Structure 1
Amino acid sequence: MPSHLSADHPPAQPPGRGSVDALISQARRLKGDVDAVRRDAQDDGSDPRGRWERALCDLALHQLNDLDEHLAQLRDGPPPVAVYAGAEALAPAAPGGRPHGEPLGRVGSAEWNLLTDEATWSGELYQLLGRDPAAPPLTLDELPSLVLDADRPRLTAMVTDCLVDAKPIDGEFRVVRPDGTLRTVHMMGEPVLGADGGTDAMWAVLRDVSELRRSQRTERETRDSLQHHRHRAQTEHRLAVEFQEAVLPPWRGSARPPHRGHPGLDLAAHYLPASTSTLIGGDWYDALELSDGDTLLSVGDLTGHGPTVTSEMAMLLGALRGMAMAGTGPGRLMALLNQLLDATAQPALGSAVCCRYRPATRTLVWAQAGHPAPLLFRDGTGRVLDAPDGVLLGATSSAVYGQAEETLKAGDLLLLHTDGLGPRRAGPATVRRLLGLAPRLGGARTAQDCVRTVVEEFGENEREDDACVLVARIA
């Protein structure tokens, strides 16, 4: 507050009461709007973004509360202060019923007269520092006794710069109140110069910024947590993609696999990531020439997303390849995969279809575990192969899986897919859409053209879950 001792500080005229009231009304409306946004911000403690948004709203509310209080003080004008001059001075009540000795407590003022060694504190400062209003105000030499030991050099430096070099004060320190609570105080002040240019006094405004700093710290911590969460998600996504690309065949994208190793088949496949998640799922496809000349065709899906699921998918696919190479039939292979998944440290559920194609007789032997059956397209029409018995992998350790056999013809097209291709709980509708592509698939020249047709039909980026499509044309 301007000193009566300073000829350089003419008394300021307060702004018009009406204009300040209008600002107070605007500030309070804005507080209500921010508080509404804060209530709408969901924060169940598990979402870093939700915690960060809530922290920002809390910080904005603290700042608006300060603005409201400061404008109210500006409107009401400076209250009478308690001056210690050897006797207790009691402040009268302010208009509206709030005693000046019982102020808002967030902002207080003080003046130290170096000529008379008198100190003047406002009632707000007593409340801010938790001191008895009947006690004498502390001198500049006594003030550091309230300050935390680690912050005393900072306060001393600020006061020395002000008194010796006439520098303005602008800094923070922590005070320990008589009840043991710790508060952060922001102090702004100026020297009051005498006629000879020397410092006669110092005045200061002290503000309790503890809650503001707490909100800023919370916002900073939640922002850092959100950034860490995003970085972790990006890292997990990158690892899962690299893992998946290392496990799935090198022709996992839009390229066709080499004919060598898949006699009598024109193969193509495509992996379609989910558009609603940045995490990779557990979908796979595979085509592998076996030691006896047969070809293994499979697609499958493990529940969940992320590196853990991707690693389990890799384990399952490796086991599938190894057992198929050893001559295990599709039905028995599904049963062994089920036991393997049931015995893993982190149990999961999965679905799969496994086909063994014998080019010499154009025979397809296959089994399924809770998975959509392969679709067979012939002569411009399509149908679903009759599925043998089979439950989800990992559902029960004693499951038995049947086998089915289908004789194929030259020109037939076999389509395998995972259930993420269409909307959730829309399995029959997805199959009908696929069967409706029969005329276009029948007119396609290559398996890759067929895959491209399926992707165009279902959209490259419009799925709730990952999906795989594998097409085999019989030569």
Structure 2
Amino acid sequence: MPSHVFADRPAPQPPERGTVDALITRTLLLRGDMDAVRRDAVADDDDVQGRWQRALCDLAVHHLDDLGAHLGQLKEGLPAAGAEPLAGEPSGHGAHAHPGTGGGPGSLLSRVGSAEWDLLTDEVSWSDELYPIFGRPPESGPLSLDELPSVVLPEDQSRLTSMVTDCLVDGKPIDGEFRIRRPDSTVHTLHMMGEPVLDSDGCTASMWAVLRDVSDLRRSERTVRETQDSLRRREQIARTERQVAVELQEAVLPPWRGPVRLPQGGPAALDLAAHYLPSAAPSRIGGDWYDAMALPDGQSLLTVGDLTGHGVGATSAMAMLLGALRGMAVAGIAPGTLMGHLNELLDASAQPALGSAVCCRYDPAARTLTWSQSGHPAPLLFRGGTGRALTPPSGVLLGAMPGTAYGQAEERLRTGDVLVLHTGGLTAHRGADAGEDGLLALAPRFTGAGTAQECMRVVVEEYGHTERQEDACVLIARVGAP
């Protein structure tokens, strides 16, 4: 279709061919880079973040394909009706054509067509590309302006009528979308841009328009919106769950944050300090715990542990397990037997999980520590400027093997001894040995510390800013003078 001359402005001049070639080359290079990014954005159905990234990549690819198609048309110019490609030159984009952007069926060029409706003669002129866009055989001829609404969805007919009326009566440009139903019952979204063509007297003689099938583009945009909305909902749920987990954890763990002595005022009492170290990822609140409490028989309970999982499920399971542990300790059940009961409780839980723990009873009169463990790092004993891990009795992870018997060990403590109980995840490296080795290296610094709180400050200085993958708990007990 030749360029139209409007009464209010001169006809635009075509761009230089070399400039368009350079734009096409840059677009194709960017399209290739985008393909590489899209291949890396593969995600499964449960990965909302990945699906959103993939949808954005698909949308960007659609825009780049459209840009490439339009630049190709701009470069080639309007071919004469029935013209064949020049010898040795491919159809569509010429030598710079990208796969999928030529003029074949299903390509982007085949999804862009033009039309002109002559108001004086009622003649209608459609480009060849417009027939497949409407799913209409060429022998049926083009649709007149009166016939066009018949293929438009009822809810979009008033929009189309308003656009055409504004163009013909008020001389306003057309720029809008509507949906059509093809003969095969498929629904497609068309974007229509057009203007009135004025005669020498300034009256509307005809209307021309370019129509583009933007169905794939709108589907990609809709996918981006839906996945983004889903991602926001997931993030809101995650924030809520994290808040609930934090509040539950704070409600269950001991309320004391400063130094504590157990038993209070007694001989050879334990000077205690504890600290919770969160992971680098705020959402990974797990089932770690620490606890210390005076028992009715004058002894003291010391325990740390960790359950698998994160979030509300892990913290609620931790609350259940810690409550049971406290109750059995108050009832006077020895650490080894107590650990066996916890194993059965976790195995019978409605939400199966695995856990590791250390449970200790300290007798200040005899200065003996009786303890048991279930696949957990052993307590560390610091004495005389050196440290060592206590030899662990037998024990497997809680919930792993029902009916398992847990061993029990005993250690005699001295005045000034420092006992450190900790959970895994203390360092950025995986494995309990990494945290154990790092803590043992602090032995000289513990020697100069006069209280458990001063020892804890050393630990926090060393590990408080570590980008750890999991959260961790540390409980420090220092044996006082008789």
- Normalising by structure 1, we get a TM-score of 0.91
Alignment partner, residue 88 of structure 1? none
Equivalent-residue separation in structure 2 for 1:334 and 1:407 (angstroms): 21
Distance 2:389 2:104 in 1: 86
Q: Which runs of 5+ in 2 are unaligned?
A: 93-102
What is aligned with 2:190? 185
CA distance in 1, matches of 2:264, 2:381: 22
| 1:240 is aligned to 2:256 | no
Judging changes above 3 Å, is the alpha-carbon distance between structure 1 residues 473 and 15 closer, same or farther for their aligned structure 2 residues? same
Q: Structure 2 vs 1, CA of residues 59 and 4 (structure 1 numbering), >3 Å: closer, same or farther?
A: closer
- TM-score with structure 2 setting the length: 0.90
Q: Pairwise mapping of residues 17-416 of structure 1 onto structure 2 (< 5 A)?
A: 17-80=17-80, 91-95=82-86, 96=89, 98=91, 104-252=109-257, 255-257=258-260, 263=266, 264-276=269-281, 278-416=283-421
**8 Å Cα contact 1:294/1:356 also seen in 2:** yes
Q: 1:143 to 1:80 in 2, by over 3 A?
A: farther
Task: Compute the displacement of 1:323 (Å).
Answer: 1.0
Instruction: Kindly indicate whether the alpha-carbon contact (under 8 Å) linking 2:427 and 2:466 is maintained by their aligned counterparts in 1.
Output: no
CA distance in 2, matches of 1:262, 1:20: 88
Question: 1:134 Cα shift?
Answer: 2.3
Tell whether the 8 Å contact from 2:346 to 2:399 is kept in structure 1 after alignment. yes
Give 1:316 shift: 0.3
**Quick check: 2:304–2:422 contact (8 Å CA) kept in 1?**
yes
Q: Cα RMSD over matched residues?
A: 2.3
Secondary structure class of the residue paired with 2:79:
coil
Q: 1:44 and 1:391, CA in 2 relative to 1: closer, same or farther beyond 3 A? A: same
Where does structure 1 differ by over 6 angstroms across 4 or more consecutive aligned residues? 99-103
1:72, distance to aligned residue in structure 2 (A): 1.2
Q: CA deviation at 1:94?
A: 4.3
> Secondary structure of the residue that 1:471 maps to in structure 2?
strand
In structure 2, relative to structure 1, the CA distance for the partners of 1:392 and 1:4 (3 Å cut) is closer
Is the 8 Å Cα contact of residues 286 and 309 (structure 2) preserved in structure 1? Answer: yes
CA distance, structure 2, for counterparts of residue 282 and residue 463 of structure 1? 16
Change (3 A) 1:463 1:3: closer
Deviations 1:338-378, CA, capped at 9 Å, x for gaps: 10000001211111111111222222221111112212222
Measured against aligned partners, the alpha-carbon deviations of 1:412-459 in whole angstroms (never above 9, x if no partner) come to 221111122245554345333323322211210110111121232334
Cα distance between partner residues in 2 of 1:217 and 1:430: 48
DSSP 3-state at the match of 2:129: helix
* Residues 3 and 203 in structure 1, CA contact (< 8 A), matched pair in contact too: no
**1:49-76 CA deviation, whole Å, 9 max, x = no partner?**
2212211111111111111111111111
Separation in 1, partners of 2:261, 2:409: 28
8 Å contact kept, 1:236–1:279: no
Tell me what 2:99 maps to. Answer: none
Q: Distance in 1 between matches of 2:220 and 2:15?
A: 31
Instruction: Please give the alpha-carbon distance, in whole angstroms, between the structure 2 residues aligned to 1:345 and 1:71.
Output: 62
Q: 1:376 to 1:32 in 2, by over 3 A?
A: same
Cα 1:70/1:425, change in 2 over 3 Å: closer
What residue identity is the alignment partner of 1:72?
G
SS at match of 2:343: helix
Amino acid at match of 1:257: V
Contact 2:263-2:300 within 8 A present in 1 as well: no
